[in-house]
Amino acid sequence: MEQLKGKLYLMSAFALAGTSVIAARFVTGHLGTFTITATSLLLASLALLPLCRRNLRKAIPLMSVRDWVTLLLQALCGIFLFRMFLLQGLLHTSSGEAGVLTGATPAATTLFAWLLLKEPLSTKSLFGILSTIAGILLLQGILVPGNALTMNHLIGNILVLCAAVSESLFNILSRISSLRIITDRSNPLNPIVQTMLVSAIALLLCLIPSLFEHPVWSLMSLGIIEWLALVWYGIFVTALAFMFWYAGIKRCTAYTAAAFSGMMPLTSLVLSVLLLGEHIGWHQWSGGLLVMLGMLLIGGCQTNMQPTKLLDLSASK
């Protein structure tokens, strides 16, 4: 039952995360990268604070230096770097391609688990990684005969891939943190409290660079659609999605999370066509299918791995 709940939480988290590309498209070009991130995080924090104020006062005095460092790294990789790369990439590539390219996260997560945690890399996982790479090359047009490769487009897709790598580091950090809590038999942070603290830390990281983007004047010039996109980015993509993520990753393995991360590029691709009216060519659909196949191969071969086995692997390092 707990694993089923965890899977539902993860599915909801990645479905909401998939809308981040669409929400960002409405404000990219109107606001600076760090202004978008800081404003959405401020909105998320304001929504979360009334829900966790009492638990927050109890949790903070009990937190160690290691707990704060873990949250700092999660905020840096999962929010600050991820959104910086994604928002910059959207200036040079389409929302549909950006959404699909975030599907490289499972492949990067598997590679990090193999390189950093020394976890075994199965043949199925290896084929999943190769399928993801082929899909990315097809999306970029490198495997399409006669397709002209534009540097601007390439830079945009590379930036989105950097966002996927940042998200992968966040996944690994989150799972290591969950396993450490089990090993130490300590009380885990409430998902709402954890989301609140990570959002607040990421907000502090964004404040100084956002000041160079003239945020007050830019925000005052926004229309209702842009403000609604910011509210969605803050409340749903940040607050609610991260709450679901922390609730799910405590019940499932990192590889299970990788399997469900397919909801993110799928949601982004479909919404890009339906809401933004973007045209998706055959090579983009084919590349997207290869990326999603890679996610299924990577996640499917490891979803039956028990958390205790992963715990043993990490504790032995």
- Tell me the mean pLDDT per 10 residues along the chain, length 317: 81 88 87 93 94 91 90 93 91 79 77 75 78 73 56 83 90 77 70 91 95 91 93 92 85 70 76 79 75 72 44 31
Radius of gyration of the chain (CA): 19
How distant, in Å, are the alpha carbons of 22, 177, 196, 197 from that of 55? 33, 20, 11, 12
Structural domain count, the chain: 1
223 Cβ contact list (under 8 Å, min separation 6):
none
CB 157 within 8 A of CB 96: no
Q: Is 28 helix (H, G, I), strand (E, B) or coil?
A: strand
Q: How distant is the alpha carbon of residue 293 from its chain centre? A: 19
CA distances from 108 to 85, 251, 253, 308 (A): 16, 21, 15, 23
CB 103 within 8 A of CB 132: yes
Residue 255: CB atoms within 10 A of its CB come to: 24
Identify the pLDDT of residue 140. 60
pLDDT at 186: 66
Q: Are 150 and 90 in contact (CB under 8 A)?
A: no
What domain range includes position 123? 2-315
User: Residue 68: what pLDDT?
Assistant: 93
